[in-house]
Amino acid sequence: MDFFGSILLATSLGGVSGLRITTTPLVLALGSYTPFFTLPENMIWLASPEMLGLWFLINFVEFGAFSVPVLGSGFDVAALGIAPLSSAFFVTGVTEMDFMTAMLFAGAPSAGVQLATSGVRAISGPFAPVVSLFESVTAFIAGILAIILPILSIALMVWLVVWGVKQAKQFVQKRRTMQEPIPPTT
């Protein structure tokens, strides 16, 4: 893989990790079963049938944890540190990037997406399961796109962050206007 292709893959997988940490290894494993992507020999363990089953299970557990607001908040705090490291680890394994370069191109997008989504999830309240489902589905779709067309995956992540922040701002503004007292008429 050339360096530019590695940068695109790293950035797109970083965004996926920012949504769901465990989706990155899942899509890498699934991608190795397609003609679009080949795992390097040192990462072939990632796609063994046992590991594939484990990645699906871990993804399901992560989805469930983020569906419960209290657990999701705890996972968000942990994910702010783990997501960039995890994405950089997997990127160094599947590309020829060193860890610090992977932290720049995968870790930074991962942290940015994680910050944005944790902010949206923080105000989602009883809608946490819906937000969690949306994030899980989006992470999976973006992960598949990262393997096939990384530039499209990056565009999806940028759109998701911008749209999510915009929706969160509107939600907060609505709540503020509902809480403001109505001035008396004279």
pLDDT at 128 exceeding the cut of 70: yes
Q: Which amino acid is at 40?
A: P
88/78 Cα distance (integer angstroms): 16
Give residue 180's Cα distance to chain centre: 36
Determine contact, residues 126/72, Cβ cutoff 8 Å: no
Supply the pTM of this predicted model. Answer: 0.84
What are the tens digits of pLDDT across the range 47-67?
999 999 999 999 999 888 888
What are the tens digits of pLDDT across the range 98-108?
999 999 999 99
Q: Identify the burial level of 89 via C-beta atoms within 10 angstroms of its C-beta, where 0-12 means exposed, 13-18 middle and 19 or more buried.
A: middle
* Res. 172 pLDDT band, cuts 50 70 90: confident
Question: How close are the terminal C-alpha atoms of the chain, in Å?
Answer: 73
